[in-house]
Chains A and B, each alone.
Chain A
Amino acid sequence: MKKLMLGNEAFARGLYEAGCSFASSYPGTPSTEITEFAAKYPEVYAEWAPNEKVAMESAFGASLSGKRSFCGMKHVGLNVAADPLFTISYTGVNAGMIIAVADDPGMHSSQNEQDSRHYAIASKVPMLEPSDSAETLAFVKAAYELSEKYDTPVIIRMCTRVAHSQSVIETSERDEIKDRPYEKNGQKYIMMPANAKARHPFVEKRTVLLTELAENCDFNRVDEGEDSSIGIITCSTSYQYVKEVCGNKYPVLKIGMTNPLPVKMIKDFASKADKIYVIEELDGIIESHCRNIGIEVTGKELFSNIGEFSQSYIAEKLGVELPAYGKLGEEIPGRPPVMCAGCPHRGLFYTLKKNKVKVLGDIGCYTLGAVPPLSALDTTICMGASVSGLHGFNKLSEENSSSTVAVIGDSTFMHSGITGLVNIAYNESNSTVIILDNSITGMTGHQQNPTTGYNLKGDPCAKINLEELCKSIGIKRVTVVDPYNLKECDDALKAELAADEPSVIISRRPCALLKYVKHNGPISCDTDKCIGCKSCMRIGCPAISIKEGKAVIDSTLCTGCGVCSQLCPKDALGK
Chain B
Amino acid sequence: MTERIDWENIKKIAMRDAYGQTLVQLGGQNKDIVVLDADLSKSTKTADFAKVFPERFFNMGIAEQNLMGFSAGLAAAGKVPFASTFAVFATGRAFEQIRNSIAYPKLNVKIAATHAGISVGEDGASHQAIEDLALMRALPNMTVLAPADAEETRQVIKAAAAYKGPVYIRMGRLAVPVLFDQSYKFEIGKANVRREGKDVAIIANGLMVAEALKAAEILNSQGIEATVVNCASVKPLDENTIIAVSQQTGAVVTAEEHNIIGGLGSAVAEVLSENYPVPLCRVGIKDTFGESGRPEELLVKYGLTAAEIVKVAQKVIKKKNCKISA
Q: Do A and B bind each other?
A: no
